[in-house]
Amino acid sequence: MFKDLDPILHSQVRLSIMSILLPLKSAEFSFLLENVETTKGNLSFQLSKLNEAGYIKIKKSFRNNYPLTTIKITEKGITAYESYVAAISEYFKKASGSGND
């Protein structure tokens, strides 16, 4: 039987965001925008979805009178990401026949 995949993470942009944040723990909005192939508006929307799920925290501040948005992955986000990777890995194992018991 296949495990359910987290619908929050089963989005290319949200999965990309989480994959970038996992080793860094936090990143600025501009860094994510440079590394995730999407628009500012879509990135903001996807960050809101991750924030609502409790997978990230968004901090808005200023640096030299310019707005600065910093995104930090949460423990809940790390756990969800690891569970998602484990679940999707099972799909690949079953597809390659190595998951047969």
For the record, the structure tokens of 24 come out as: 């860094």
CB 8 within 8 A of CB 55: yes
In a domain, 6, yes or no: no
Domain region containing 62: 12-94
The predicted-structure confidence for 85-96, as pLDDT tens digits, reads as follows 999 998 888 877
In a domain, 100, yes or no: no
In a domain, 4, yes or no: no
- pTM of the predicted structure, to 2 decimals: 0.88
| Grouped pLDDT means (10 residues each) for the chain, 101 residues | 88 97 96 96 98 98 95 98 94 73 49
**Domain total of the chain:** 1
The predicted-structure confidence for 62-75, as pLDDT tens digits, reads as follows 999 999 999 999 99
Residue 48's CATH number: 1.10.10.10
CB 9 within 8 A of CB 79: no
